[in-house]
Structure 1
Amino acid sequence: MTKHKKKTEIEIADEIIRKNMPKAAEVLISLLESKDAEVRAHAAAYIIERITGKPILIVTIRE
């Protein structure tokens, strides 16, 4: 008989996060359509940084 090890809170949280990654990605992508230019810029920067592994600088010009 095999005993099942009880999952830690961290393991449970990690499992929940992994199951919801597609939903999180959809929300992030939807931010690219925001009416707020700063929100769009931050969403784009996050995606670019994740893909390239290189940080980028966001310059916001306020009128």
Structure 2
Amino acid sequence: MDLQITGILGFIIFIADIWAILNVIQSRESSGTKLLWIVLILVLPLLGLLIWWFAGPREP
């Protein structure tokens, strides 16, 4: 049972990371800034996602 919950949470984080990366790619930030955000999200999946959520590039 615990393994199923862990797998589901991992899958949800994976989908959220893909969504965040797509939003970063579509932002108007410079290529270097986009690359840094993408690396942060990939290296630290949950923490990078949370940092991006609160401090990431936003459209006006």
Confirm or deny a common fold (TM above 0.5).
no
Whichever of the two has the greater Rg, that structure is 1
Q: TM-score range by the shorter chain?
A: 0.3 to 0.5
Compute the TM-score of the two structures, normalised by the length of structure 2.
0.36
Compute the TM-score of the two structures, normalised by the length of structure 1.
0.35
Between the two structures, name the one with larger relative contact order (CA 8 Å, sep ≥ 6). Answer: 2
Bigger fraction of residues in helix: 2
